[in-house]
Amino acid sequence: MLRKSATAWMVAAAVLTALAATAAAQPLGFQAVPRDAFPVFDDPKMLSAAEAEKQGVIFDRDVIIGVAHNGEAKAYPITIMGVHELGNDTIGGVPIAVSW
Amino acid sequence: MYRRKLDDKVLSFGHAGILYENSFIMYDRETESLWVHVTGEAAHGPLKGKKLDFMPSTVTSWANWKKNYPLTQVLPGYRRGGFMGTYVGPFQSDILGLAVLVKLKAKLYPYGVLERQNLVNDEFNDAKVVVYYSPDDATGTAWRRELDGRVLTFEQSERKDAQGNVLLRDRETGSLWSWLRGEAVDGELKGRKLRQLLYNPILNDRFVAFYPGAPIFDTAN
- Residues B122-170: tens digit of each pLDDT: 999 999 999 999 988 889 999 999 999 999 999 999 999 988 889 999 9
Nearest to B65 among A35, A66, A95 (CB): A66
Domains of chain B, by residue range, sit at 5-44, 62-210
Predicted pLDDT of residue A83:
87
Q: Which residues of A touch B43 (CB under 8 A)?
A: 27-28
Mutate to test the interface with A, among B62, B87, B139 (most CBs of A within 10 A): B62
Nearest to A65 among B21, B57, B66 (CB): B57
Please give the ipTM for the structure prediction: 0.90
For chain B, give the percent of residues with pLDDT over 90.
Answer: 81
Q: For A34, which residue in chain B has the nearest alpha carbon?
A: B17
- Asked if B58 and A38 come within 8 Å (Cβ–Cβ), the reply is no
Confidence of residue B82 (pLDDT cuts 50, 70, 90): very low
Predicted pLDDT of residue A1:
54
Say if residues B3 and A69 touch (Cβ distance below 8 Å).
no
Averaged pLDDT of chain A: 86
Q: Which residues of B touch A69 (CB under 8 A)?
A: 55
Backbone angles phi, psi at B180, to 5 degrees: -85, -35
Backbone angles phi, psi at B121, to 5 degrees: -90, 110
pLDDT at residue B73 above 80?
Answer: yes
Please compute, for residue B150, the number of CA atoms within 13 A of its CA located in the half-sphere on the CB side.
9
Q: Which residues of A touch B80 (CB under 8 A)?
A: 79-80, 82-83
Q: Which residues of B touch A73 (CB under 8 A)?
A: 65, 69, 71-73
Predicted pLDDT of residue B83:
45
Q: For B141, which residue in chain A has the nearest alpha carbon?
A: A66
User: At B120, which helix (H) or strand (E)?
Assistant: strand B119-124
Average pLDDT over residues A2-19: 71
Cβ contacts below 8 Å, chain A against chain B, sum to 217
The CA-based angle B18-B13-A46, given to 5 degrees, is 120
- Asked if A66 and B19 come within 8 Å (Cβ–Cβ), the reply is no
DSSP string across B23-65 = EEEEEETTT--EEETTTTEEEESTTTT-BPPB---EEEEHHHH
Say if residues B66 and B181 touch (Cβ distance below 8 Å).
no
Lowest mean pLDDT among A8-12, A39-43, B49-53, B184-188: A8-12
The CA-based angle B198-B199-B202, given to 5 degrees, is 145
Q: Looking at residue A7, what DSSP letter applies?
A: H
Confidence of residue A24 (pLDDT cuts 50, 70, 90): low
How far is residue B196 from each of residues A73, A93, B27, B136, B137, measured CA to CA in Å? 14, 18, 28, 22, 20
> Residues with Cβ < 8 Å from B6, sequence gap 6 or more?
B47, B50, B52
